[in-house]
A and B are shown apart, each in its own frame.
Chain A
Amino acid sequence: MSRIKKLFKEKEGSKLLSIYYTAGYPKLNDTLEIARQLAASGADFLEIGFPYSDPVADGPTIQHSSEQALKNGMTVKLLFEQLKDLRQYTDIPVLLMGYVNPLLQYGVEHFCQSCAEVGVDGIIVPDLPVYEYESLYKDIFARYGLSNIFLITPQTSEERVRQIDELTTGFIYMVSSASTTGNKLDVDTSLANYFNRVKSLALKNPLVMGFGIRGKEQFDQALEYADAAIIGSEFVKLLDKEDYLDRIPTFIADIKGLPISV
């Protein structure tokens, strides 16, 4: 069973937290160290961003981290080198997240192969559309046992949500609102309706909510509707602090409402 499937099966009902961060930010070579510290601190799964020059779905915080990571010299190739020993450090699911052009230049098959080699479990590519994935890349992903994660939004029709559910082999990324990353989630009645509507579809894949989850308050709100939630921009901001590695345990414990575990 894949690590993602196993996680959602074994920890069903518990509050699962995923953390996003941009590889190569703020320092070029801390990617694995941050992953190790996050896993040790109680993060349940990870999304590691490979930076792109033109991240249209991202707000200022992740734009900035991507820009800085690129200046630092981050590349897809380097990321796979950094992750070479990933599985000696942690067994939690790890996904890579980024935009389609760097992936195309690296080569889709090559990318999937490298993921499989280092033990990455899935990929989230917001601008890789369903049609192109299904017609061009689905078989390649399957051959390497990788999950491809699709996004849904408040505007996604039920028909399309069901289509995505059929194609998905990991979880569905429920974008919390009509927004780029980094805004603050504010659950009003129309958003609550959206969350409830999606929840009531009884999809076969777990739901993971992301975008706008800043701290414990939004995390708890998200978990009323979803199986897990992702924190991105707010964690990337933590990385601006000098001693960010030391701060990770408290950050995770605060959100999950648990005692500090490191």
Chain B
Amino acid sequence: MDYQVNEKGYYGDFGGAYIPEMMYPNIEELRKRYLEIMEEPSFKAEFDQLMKDYVGRPSPLYLAKRLSERYGAKIFLKREDLNHTGAHKINNTIGQILLAKRLGKNRIIAETGAGQHGVATATVCALMGLECVVYMGEIDMARQAPNVARMKMMGAEVRPAVSGSKTLKDATNEAMRDWISNPVDTHYIIGSVVGPHPYPDMVARFQSIISAETKKQLLEQTGSENPDIVIACVGGGSNAMGMFYHYLNEEGVRLIAAEAAGKGVDSGESAATSVLGKEGVLHGSRTILMQTDDGQVVEPYSISAGLDYPGIGPQHAFLHKIGRAEYVSITDEEAMQAGLLLTRLEGIIPAIESAHALAQLEKMTFRGNEQVVVCLSGRGDKDLDNYMKYFGF
């Protein structure tokens, strides 16, 4: 079975490039050139070197003993939280900034929700000396003030998105409008496997380093490349797609994607797109999104700003539809408890996003020694305030 994008930019019925003509030349340039650039030896060498010496890869694959005991399975954590800037987002921004340079762009724009992607973008712009503008919903800027400060310290301009609901989807709209108005010198670094083709494929390829490393590390540690189960959280879906990538064709490996149910899928305050969404077009691709009967995008809710997105990437929509991956819903409460549990059992404070993946362990019954890899997409430093408030510490 082929799970990858076809030459027209589609995964089954999903994907494509539903963009206004004003964005077409940029998207077309990217589409024509991204694979060829990514294959260049000089690109690969620079990417690999930065991944190793700047990001700190390979990120460890850690056998979490006490967590394993508790659940009666062999649980490995893929430690993306130990990357520079604290999440998997940097894998993508390094890749895209190197690409942008080769396209001759000197100005970078990005959208951000929790601020992790914004920080990762501001970081690589500082590294490469490029101008950087990050759009962030006005409400998110207030919710995630420390990340706003980090971006500013890095020299990025953070522009509040004041339209619509003033959160991630509106920041994405603003970034697209900026690109429409700056069609020549600017590259838009999208932060997840969303957006028009070729973004979902390009971002998945940059993030696929997660599963490439996992295979190697698992082979070393257990004698087999393949675990029984892989679990990752899904906002737009980039850490999950990176974690799934090299396992897609290993049909024996169960792939589980944890979506944010917020206060419960039926509560009206949720971000569980695969349950609540319908097929349509969001931010340039045909996918599953939360919307009204009239096709208006519905504002999602999750305690985790990074999962608070009304759609999922088109490849996820495809994997969901054909049943290659399972999409599960995790509530705020379940995620917060799982975050606390990991902290107390292993001394690792996970990002609340990643805690959604951990919470799935609680819902499963293991036969005994199954091997499970959970993608720990980010660290919880940015969420300390939230944890404190939630548990009343």
Contact = CB atoms under 8 A, between A and B. Distances in A.
Given A150-B21, A156-B24, A180-B177, A60 B294 contact: no
A186 interface: no
A134 B22 CA distance: 19
B308 to A, nearest CB: 15
B252 interface: no
A127 B163 contact: no
B295 A153 contact: no
A238 interface: no
Interface residues of A, number: 42
Contact of B17 (A54, A63, A129): A129
B281 A100 contact: yes
A105 interface: yes
A101 B18 CA distance: 10
A129 B19 contact: yes
A127 B296 contact: no
A70 interface: yes
A156 B20 CA distance: 12
A127 B294 contact: no
A234 to B, nearest CB: 18
A106 B16 CA distance: 20
Residue with the greatest number of chain A CB neighbours at <10 A, chosen from B163, B164, B173, B297 = B163
A77 B163 contact: no
Contact of B295 (A52, A56, A180, A183): A52
Interface in A43-90: 52-57, 59-60, 63, 67, 70, 75-77
A203 interface: no
Given A54-B297, A102-B294, A179-B180, A127 B22 contact: no
Given A105-B293, A155-B184, A179-B180, 4 more contacts: A53-B296, A127-B284, A129-B16, A175-B22
Interface of A: 52-57, 59-60, 63, 67, 70, 75-77, 99-106, 126-129, 131-132, 150-157, 160, 175, 178-180, 183
The 3 A-B residue pairs with the shortest CB-CB distance in the complex, in nearest-first order: A105-B295, A102-B295, A126-B20
6 contacts: A55-B173, A59-B177, A70-B296, A102-B295, A105-B291, A179-B22
